[in-house]
Chains A and B, each alone.
Chain A
């Protein structure tokens, strides 16, 4: 008893210290994530990020929203640097199911949450909203999540009113001068088109991320479609297309009505969807005005 009494002051201060540190970490919890789609959503929700995988590549391919400078690069998405991650000690690590084989390792550092998007045979638009809500819960930003969803819906409705009737769109991204990805069902672009009430010309099967890989000759089967090319064009492709007999024969190309969109992350969530919807509708309007 005496010993306990003797230790009481020390125990008490220890308890105070623990409480203080708990409070301070509760004041600014930090999150880490390996998945760019989760990154853009977390930034949109204004959740502080301490570690993100492949920041430079994110800025090259997703671009916006920008990752705050305070976040530290964790290395490759498939092999985040564990020593560094342990040093950062985030409150939770968010991954997509694609990286779930890392869970045993990552969970030694912090709780791991796996959040799915782009699963086969599910409605992408619904999935994106569900993902936003779930992330909101995990980072205590339910309100921001709801307002991100509401803001997206409002934007879509505004844009929908501006869309005038158009031919079905054939959305492609060049891989090299002979091959393109065509975006269809299961994908971000397709989901946005559906919301905007625009038809997608590509009805052939797509993978879980919503695209098919085809040779350029595959586009000839859709002479009536409006071609939409999503940048970036690989170097040299423009020159080879000028010499490509087949490309020059495509009605959209012959009539010089190909629409070009700036680079956009094609596997993103609501922030990418907003950007795509905005740029697409402006491009369609610009063409309509010509």
Chain B
């Protein structure tokens, strides 16, 4: 057999290996029941069953079938997404389906619980469909161009996520059940969920089969595809629609299962599946087997833990190292999202920066002086000057972290030439968040200093990992982002697992994660402001590199830029900026994603202007968000990071829809 032939069988070999693993795990998970007994228990008629047999019939088999089916569905959705969006980073949850479903369920639970009588699946489906509809609406005018769809999906994700977080923060007790759903549990106690899922998945798979041939055209670039007579818009709508439908069905039944939809298609491709048809088949097989093996392995963990380990969180956690390993092997030659949004024509930059500065000043004055107390609204005067001691550190921290995140985001988006890039995506925030969660849970009564130390350590370790895995490749942007995605996936897994357990300390984790300036000390606020000022100065020094890097690696080298050196320095700077901001306002503010885009939309195009404009926008968003958050539901406070996502996200969507 030649090596070429060997290569052809690689996907089959991988599939068979995984199937053998799953079968082995299944046999041992069934103990003490033997396999033949178990098989005879798939169809039973006589009841009541012995308890051990009842578990096999009503729990083991439906659960295994559910894992295979859900995994296959997510694998299929993943291939479709990656094909249509031409981005190996795309996954079934990219377009906000899961967060839409999550938000729908939360809102229904709190405000219209009657809806849930019809079945949770339907509410989740409706939420997912609404999010998807929003994404399509935003990207409709640009013919569902991948770059725009991806951006719309990102912003939808963060919008629904932020709204969900607000609800969760204020109604943690009422929503505790949904946290388990959010962590993706495959636990079954009957066959009804399976009966809901399989006809829908079959329908989705048939639709995908019909689309297979036309979708192959999307491997070509837009012009060639069009010249072959394809309607790109219809094709994209069809492909994404099917993927989203499948994802929504899976998510609505078993909750959010991370990673499978991202990993299975990449694994299939890595194992050698090239043509779309092959990739679809192997992604489904690998997805199902991956999920089933993970789930079966989890069932072996005896009752040593006081909580169950939700499978969705576990796949994400196990998947992160696997993804890190994959990244070093994946040849990222696929056409990549490189063009961001079409620029807004820059005409009145001077006037615009003046307006921005004026608005920022105004928001600072209002945030310092206008507030509420038990008796109502009041302007802080001389007699109530004491109240400023609570306000100025928060204000300074908000402005400072807004600047820092905006700078980090601008740097990153320019270095990677990827509009999806943001400090949150790079994993630095995620890494420091994992360390903080660890500290909150491991220490009986952690002091602020301990939390700060843990957060810094986490950020440094993450930076180390990023450098370690990317040094050899010279910090290729797409590889770098994938590394970040892996770390962020790990963070999502840790968070979902922690919250699903229902430990009351989850409140504290939530409060911190949602990005509040609440915990800022005066010293910390001054520190962050100084760092922000330094950051502006430092990044401006790099503005020549930043002007060249978006042109791409080859062009930059041709001009004489020391590519690896430049990327490493900028990356370190980004890590440093992000870590400082994360320690103050938590990991989820998304200012780092939004501010650079907003600055660009406002016409701040060139490197220097982009940096400064972004920084101003970041500061403005965060200061006004902090104030709104403190007044809106007084005396309850909505964290600035969440409000920033809501304000910034709304404006972002409005601009996006008009492209």
A-to-B contact residues, CB < 8 Å: 57, 60-61, 72-84, 86-88, 97-101, 104, 108, 114, 119, 174-179, 181, 204-209, 211-218, 220-221, 223, 234-236, 239-240, 243-247, 249, 254, 267
Contact of B448 with A86 in the complex, beta carbons under 8 Å: no
Given the known interface contacts A104-B521, A246-B190, A267-B504, the answer about A213 and B306 at a Cβ–Cβ threshold of 8 Å is yes
* Separation of A37 and B644 alpha carbons in the complex (Å): 34
Contact of A205 with B303 in the complex, beta carbons under 8 Å: yes
Q: Which of B173, B305, B445, B500 contacts A57 (CB 8 A)?
A: B173
Question: Which 9 A-B pairs rank lowest in CB-CB distance, beginning with the nearest?
Answer: A215-B187, A78-B511, A246-B189, A246-B58, A176-B177, A217-B59, A100-B445, A81-B635, A75-B635
B192 CB within 8 Å of chain A: yes
Contact of A206 with B447 in the complex, beta carbons under 8 Å: no
B185 CB within 8 Å of chain A: yes
B387 CB within 8 Å of chain A: yes
Question: What 11 new A-B contacts, CB under 8 Å, besides A60-B174, A212-B303, A215-B308?
Answer: A57-B171, A61-B173, A73-B635, A101-B445, A114-B445, A179-B187, A217-B55, A217-B188, A221-B51, A245-B189, A245-B191
Contact of A223 with B51 in the complex, beta carbons under 8 Å: yes
Q: Number of contacts between A and B (CB, 8 Å)?
A: 186
Give the residues in chain B near A80, CB-CB below 8 Å. 635
Contact of A236 with B117 in the complex, beta carbons under 8 Å: yes
Contact of B508 with A98 in the complex, beta carbons under 8 Å: yes
* Separation of A37 and B31 alpha carbons in the complex (Å): 43
Given the known interface contacts A221-B51, A235-B117, A236-B119, the answer about A78 and B386 at a Cβ–Cβ threshold of 8 Å is no
* Separation of A208 and B120 alpha carbons in the complex (Å): 31
B610 to nearest A CB, angstroms? 34
Q: By the criterion of a CB under 8 Å from any partner CB, how many residues of chain B are at the interface?
A: 73
* Separation of A240 and B117 alpha carbons in the complex (Å): 9
Interfacial residues of chain B within 160-198, with CB under 8 A of chain A in the complex = 169-171, 173-174, 176-178, 180-181, 185, 187-192
Given the known interface contacts A75-B635, A79-B516, the answer about A178 and B188 at a Cβ–Cβ threshold of 8 Å is yes
Give the residues in chain B near A76, CB-CB below 8 Å. 169-170, 511, 636-637
Given the known interface contacts A81-B635, A181-B502, A211-B502, the answer about A235 and B116 at a Cβ–Cβ threshold of 8 Å is yes
Q: Considering only CB atoms, which chain A residue lies closest to B380 in the complex?
A: A83
B446 CB within 8 Å of chain A: yes
Give the residues in chain B near A86, CB-CB below 8 Å. 386-387, 390
Given the known interface contacts A97-B445, A212-B306, A267-B504, the answer about A220 and B54 at a Cβ–Cβ threshold of 8 Å is yes
Q: Which of A73, A83, A213, A243 contacts B502 (CB 8 A)?
A: A213
Give the residues in chain A near B504, CB-CB below 8 Å. 98, 209, 267
Contact of A213 with B500 in the complex, beta carbons under 8 Å: yes
B-to-A contact residues, CB < 8 Å: 47-49, 51-52, 54-55, 57-59, 109, 113-114, 116-117, 119-120, 169-171, 173-174, 176-178, 180-181, 185, 187-192, 303-308, 371, 373-374, 386-387, 389-391, 444-448, 451, 500-505, 507-508, 510-511, 516, 518-519, 521, 634-637, 639
A160 to nearest B CB, angstroms? 28
* Separation of A215 and B387 alpha carbons in the complex (Å): 49
Give the residues in chain A near B516, CB-CB below 8 Å. 79
Contact of A83 with B189 in the complex, beta carbons under 8 Å: no
Given the known interface contacts A76-B636, A217-B58, the answer about A209 and B503 at a Cβ–Cβ threshold of 8 Å is yes
Q: Considering only CB atoms, which chain A residue lies closest to B500 in the complex?
A: A213
Q: Considering only CB atoms, which chain B residue lies closest to A241 in the complex?
A: B189
Q: Considering only CB atoms, which chain A residue lies closest to B305 in the complex?
A: A205
Of the listed residues B170, B171, B504, the one surrounded by the most CB atoms of chain A closer than 10 A to its CB is B504
Of the listed residues A176, A177, A208, the one surrounded by the most CB atoms of chain B closer than 10 A to its CB is A176
Can you list 18 A-B contacts with CB-CB less than 8 angstroms, sorted by A residue number? A60-B173, A61-B173, A76-B636, A97-B445, A101-B451, A178-B188, A205-B304, A205-B305, A212-B303, A212-B305, A213-B308, A217-B59, A235-B113, A236-B117, A239-B117, A244-B189, A245-B190, A267-B504
Give the residues in chain B near A87, CB-CB below 8 Å. 373-374
Give the residues in chain B near A246, CB-CB below 8 Å. 54-55, 58-59, 189-190
* Separation of A72 and B373 alpha carbons in the complex (Å): 11
Give the residues in chain B near A216, CB-CB below 8 Å. 59, 187, 189
B4 to nearest A CB, angstroms? 47
* Separation of A178 and B187 alpha carbons in the complex (Å): 7
Q: Which of A108, A114, A217 contacts B187 (CB 8 A)?
A: A217
Q: Which of B48, B501, B636 contacts A249 (CB 8 A)?
A: B48
Given the known interface contacts A84-B374, A207-B501, A254-B48, the answer about A75 and B173 at a Cβ–Cβ threshold of 8 Å is no
Q: Considering only CB atoms, which chain A residue lies closest to B374 in the complex?
A: A72
Q: Considering only CB atoms, which chain B residue lies closest to A223 in the complex?
A: B51
B499 to nearest A CB, angstroms? 11
Q: Considering only CB atoms, which chain B residue lies closest to A119 in the complex?
A: B444
Given the known interface contacts A176-B180, A244-B190, the answer about A220 and B51 at a Cβ–Cβ threshold of 8 Å is yes
* Separation of A71 and B505 alpha carbons in the complex (Å): 25
Contact of B180 with A213 in the complex, beta carbons under 8 Å: yes
* Separation of A273 and B505 alpha carbons in the complex (Å): 22
Contact of A84 with B635 in the complex, beta carbons under 8 Å: yes
* Separation of A101 and B450 alpha carbons in the complex (Å): 10
* Separation of A234 and B168 alpha carbons in the complex (Å): 16
A261 to nearest B CB, angstroms? 17
Give the residues in chain A near B189, CB-CB below 8 Å. 178, 215-217, 244-247
Give the residues in chain A near B307, CB-CB below 8 Å. 207, 212-213
Contact of B448 with A101 in the complex, beta carbons under 8 Å: yes
Q: Considering only CB atoms, which chain A residue lies closest to B510 in the complex?
A: A78
* Separation of A84 and B635 alpha carbons in the complex (Å): 7
Of the listed residues B371, B503, B635, the one surrounded by the most CB atoms of chain A closer than 10 A to its CB is B635
A263 to nearest B CB, angstroms? 10
Give the residues in chain B near A249, CB-CB below 8 Å. 47-49, 51, 54, 58
Give the residues in chain B near A205, CB-CB below 8 Å. 303-306
A176 to nearest B CB, angstroms? 4
Give the residues in chain B near A211, CB-CB below 8 Å. 306, 502
* Separation of A245 and B55 alpha carbons in the complex (Å): 10
Contact of A175 with B176 in the complex, beta carbons under 8 Å: yes
A22 to nearest B CB, angstroms? 21
Give the residues in chain A near B519, CB-CB below 8 Å. 101
* Separation of A60 and B174 alpha carbons in the complex (Å): 9
Contact of A81 with B503 in the complex, beta carbons under 8 Å: no
Given the known interface contacts A213-B500, A243-B192, the answer about A83 and B371 at a Cβ–Cβ threshold of 8 Å is yes
Contact of B190 with A88 in the complex, beta carbons under 8 Å: no
Q: Considering only CB atoms, which chain B residue lies closest to A208 in the complex?
A: B503
A250 to nearest B CB, angstroms? 8
Contact of B390 with A215 in the complex, beta carbons under 8 Å: no
B523 to nearest A CB, angstroms? 11
Give the residues in chain A near B518, CB-CB below 8 Å. 79
Contact of A79 with B445 in the complex, beta carbons under 8 Å: no
Give the residues in chain B near A114, CB-CB below 8 Å. 445
Of the listed residues B57, B391, B502, B521, the one surrounded by the most CB atoms of chain A closer than 10 A to its CB is B502
* Separation of A109 and B185 alpha carbons in the complex (Å): 44
Give the residues in chain A near B180, CB-CB below 8 Å. 175-176, 178-179, 213
Give the residues in chain A near B54, CB-CB below 8 Å. 220, 245-246, 249
Contact of A179 with B185 in the complex, beta carbons under 8 Å: yes
B53 to nearest A CB, angstroms? 9
B31 to nearest A CB, angstroms? 14
B466 to nearest A CB, angstroms? 29
Give the residues in chain B near A209, CB-CB below 8 Å. 503-504
Give the residues in chain A near B173, CB-CB below 8 Å. 57, 60-61
Q: Considering only CB atoms, which chain B residue lies closest to A207 in the complex?
A: B306
Of the listed residues A179, A208, A247, the one surrounded by the most CB atoms of chain B closer than 10 A to its CB is A179
Contact of A100 with B635 in the complex, beta carbons under 8 Å: no
Contact of B178 with A81 in the complex, beta carbons under 8 Å: no
Give the residues in chain B near A78, CB-CB below 8 Å. 507-508, 510-511
Q: Considering only CB atoms, which chain B residue lies closest to A247 in the complex?
A: B189
Given the known interface contacts A87-B373, A215-B308, the answer about A175 and B447 at a Cβ–Cβ threshold of 8 Å is no
Contact of B636 with A175 in the complex, beta carbons under 8 Å: no
Give the residues in chain A near B304, CB-CB below 8 Å. 205
A103 to nearest B CB, angstroms? 8
Give the residues in chain B near A60, CB-CB below 8 Å. 173-174
Give the residues in chain A near B511, CB-CB below 8 Å. 76, 78-79
